[in-house]
Amino acid sequence: MAGASLRHRVGGYRNPTDFSPDDWPRAIAHVVDIVLDWRKHLDTRHGAKNLAGLDILELGPGATLGTGVLLVGLGARSYHAIDAFDLAGRTPPGFYRALAEAELPPVFDRARILWAVDALERGRTDPVGYVVTPEFDIACAAGGRTFDLLLSNAAFEHFEDIEHVIAQLAAVARPGATLLAGVDFQTHTRGIRATDPNSIYRFSPSLYRSLGFPGQPNRRRPRDYLEALQRHGWTNAECRPVDVADAVYQAWSTAGLYEPYRDDAADMNVLTGIVLAEKP
């Protein structure tokens, strides 16, 4: 934790993935996997979810706007991304041309992808827009827009106040809108993650805060998301476990966790999950 804190405080928050942003083939595969995974979870809730004509918001798109280009390729009318860090702003324009020319699953409409890439190359904000707001003021960054689908991938765990973010999302969600957020509940320290993914839950709140850094995981658990969604008017909320700790690790790790994370309601076996909800 101390090493991670020092690294981020000195170097800042630069790379949200475990591979170099210069590795374009891997970056392309990464955004394709994210979008197909979103679509799979939407389909299991809504049947074959048609994205045609939808206005989509993504929180924390990360190193590129590739997810937005691909969502347009699935028929979305518009894609708008908001981030506190200008990570995607460093992406060379050639990346999007490489994405458009890559071998992609047939579900994507190549002509629409090319349309989105052409617009990005011309500096246009339609159909793919991007706003950086260090304060993470979602309503202001949305500029009066409202959305049918609100997405994020491995971003919510970095928001210091998920309650505030969920309240802001409620204000820009249209009636009937769907929220789908992939959440990584584990430590993000790569050297520890494979052997002790719940290591961040061993610290008291005061010690954890003292080692804080930009983007530090917030240690919120599935129940925290579901309770916050209910308080802000979202319905049919659920957290679907994706990666689950095995029984041996869970038995070994639980005794060393900070006391609030030891009870069954904390769902410490859930390492990653998909949070889904709907706006009436």
Do the beta carbons of residue 116 and residue 69 sit within 8 Å?
A: yes
Separation CA 153–CA 140 (nearest Å): 22
Q: Is residue 231 pLDDT above 60, yes or no?
A: yes
Do the beta carbons of residue 88 and residue 64 sit within 8 Å?
A: yes
Tokens of 139: 């309503």
Of residues 236 and 2, which shows the higher confidence score?
Answer: 236
Greatest Cα pair distance, the chain, in angstroms, is: 56
Separation CA 70–CA 31 (nearest Å): 8
What is each CA distance from 253 to 6, 56, 164, 199, 244, in whole angstroms?
26, 39, 31, 8, 14
* Direct distance between the N- and C-terminal alpha carbons of the chain, in angstroms, rounded to an integer: 41
**pLDDT at residue 6 in the model:** 40
**pLDDT at residue 265 in the model:** 95
Nearest to 97 by CA among 73, 121, 75: 121
DSSP helix/strand/coil, 197: coil
Nearest to 80 by CA among 15, 128, 36, 35: 128
Summarised one tens digit per residue, pLDDT across range 56-97 is 999 999 999 999 999 999 999 999 999 999 999 999 989 999
Tokens 């197909």 correspond to 36
**pLDDT at residue 15 in the model:** 57
Q: What is the mean pLDDT of residues 159-163?
A: 95
Separation CA 99–CA 69 (nearest Å): 9
**pLDDT at residue 74 in the model:** 97
Tokens of 238: 């659920």
Cis amide leading into 93 (omega within 30): no
Q: Is residue 136 pLDDT above 50, yes or no?
A: yes
DSSP helix/strand/coil, 117: helix
Mean pLDDT of the chain: 92
Separation CA 92–CA 35 (nearest Å): 21
**pLDDT at residue 12 in the model:** 46
Where do runs of H (alpha helix) occur along the chain?
2-11, 24-46, 66-73, 93-101, 110-121, 138-142, 162-172, 190-193, 205-210, 222-231, 247-254
